[in-house]
Amino acid sequence: MNTHSQDPTLSEGSVLVLRAHHGMCLAFFRGEGYSGTFTEHMAKIKASLDRSPDRLLRVTARADDICTACPNLHDGVCETALKTERYDRAVLARCHLEEDTLITWQEFSRRVAENILQAGRRSDICSDCQWDSLCR
Ligand code: SF4
């Protein structure tokens, strides 16, 4: 039985909207974030993706299903949108993806790992992020 049926972001049958740079954040996520509500939400999404590597994502450069629990989201827009969209577009380019591509979590996380993290390019993209020290 699916115990997360009340939250559509945790439903394995739905498409998860994920801004591209969150592929890097999820790789390093260890339970820290902007608020308790936010980190709990992000932990649930990460656990859901770990259970369902074939889940489809729509990778974007706008607010996503992680941002919805973030205190920095105002009227659907990140308060540091210029910076976070720059991260998203850099990740999309390095992963050879167009915005709004549908892709499985397994394939997207593989591209992020191989094209950015293992290639040593992560800091080229987001070294000015407040969480940078957690991702080294
Ligand atoms: S800081 Fe911006 S991009 Fe990051 S989770 Fe919050 S709203 Fe989303």
Say yes or no: CB of residue 66 within 6 Å of ligand 1.
yes
4 domain-assigned: no
pLDDT tens-digit map of 55-78:
999 999 999 999 999 999 999 999
Locate the ligand 1 atom nearest the alpha carbon of residue 67 and give its number. 8
2 domain-assigned: no
Locate the ligand 1 atom nearest the alpha carbon of residue 79 and give its number. 2
Q: What is the pTM of this model?
A: 0.94
Pocket test for ligand 1, best of 37, 59, 62, 70 (most atoms within 8 A of CB): 70
Cβ-based neighbour number of residue 130 at 10 Å: 8
Residue ranges making up the domain that contains 30: 11-131
15 domain-assigned: yes
Tally of domains in the chain = 1
pLDDT tens-digit map of 74-128:
999 999 999 999 999 999 999 999 999 999 999 999 999 999 999 999 999 999 9
98 domain-assigned: yes
6 domain-assigned: no
The residue whose CA is least distant from atom 2 of ligand 1 is 78
In this predicted structure, what is the pLDDT of residue 6?
Answer: 64
